[in-house]
Amino acid sequence: METVIRNAEKLVESVMRGNDASHDAAHVFRVRDLALSLAREEGLSSSPDSMLIVELAALLHDIGDYKYVRDPSDERIVDEFLADQGVDESKSMKISNIIKGMGFKEELGRLPNGSQSVEFGVVQDADRLDAIGAIGIARCFTFGGSKNRVLHNPTVLPRSDLSKEQYMNKDEQTTVNHFHEKLLKLKNLMKTKAGQRRAELRHKFMEEFLEEFYKEWDGKA
């Protein structure tokens, strides 16, 4: 299956070439590396099938992302790629289910699902780890800048108890509010022990960053 992995990498580089740096191929490759590392810590390395599912789901997870879809057919790219590469139906379904269910918006207002697989957990945790910490801060401001979003406005408060539809509508939000609406919540949503351990330090870094940011904004530092 080494050829399938290489072809998936090429697909990522091709499809995501026009994206800003918050959701580019480098993001995907970091998530792949994190997911494989978490999978090993969670004891999946003894199962080649599980490791393949994790790697392909991580590589393909942002193809068809609603924030960057340029054509409705983009949403079918992953399924068509897996079929063309001869990935069997059972693995393809597991990969597709991981990708479709791992987004933060999918979890809003939903009760925790204890039946999710370890493969799902490590891929989702890896994607969320890349959204927090130093890399996460850089990605957040990169995405906000690409949308000409205001850095911070103290009169615009973060929204709470968001529905999926409300979360997807960010037109009037600031970049800093995204920390409160999503990023600071991710530590407590990690599915694996390995993901939880790594999230602690990244979360703390974000809290320290925001504390300094607000001091500087108010001219106190």
Q: How many residues does the chain have?
A: 221
pTM of the shown model: 0.93
The pLDDT value given to residue 114: 54
The pLDDT value given to residue 15: 92
Q: What CATH code is assigned to 2-217?
A: 1.10.3210.50
Tell me the mean pLDDT in the region 99-123.
Answer: 81
Q: What are phi and psi of 99, to 5 degrees?
A: -65, -45
Structure tokens at 119: 């493969």
Whole-number Å distance between alpha carbons of 167 and 153:
18
pLDDT band, residue 107 (cuts 50/70/90): confident
| Residues near 198 by beta carbon (within 8 Å), at least 6 away in sequence | 38, 129
The pLDDT value given to residue 65: 83
pLDDT surpassing 70 at residue 115: no
CA angle 66, 111, 38 (to 5 degrees): 70
The pLDDT value given to residue 63: 93
CA 106, 112, 181, 129 torsion-angle sign: negative
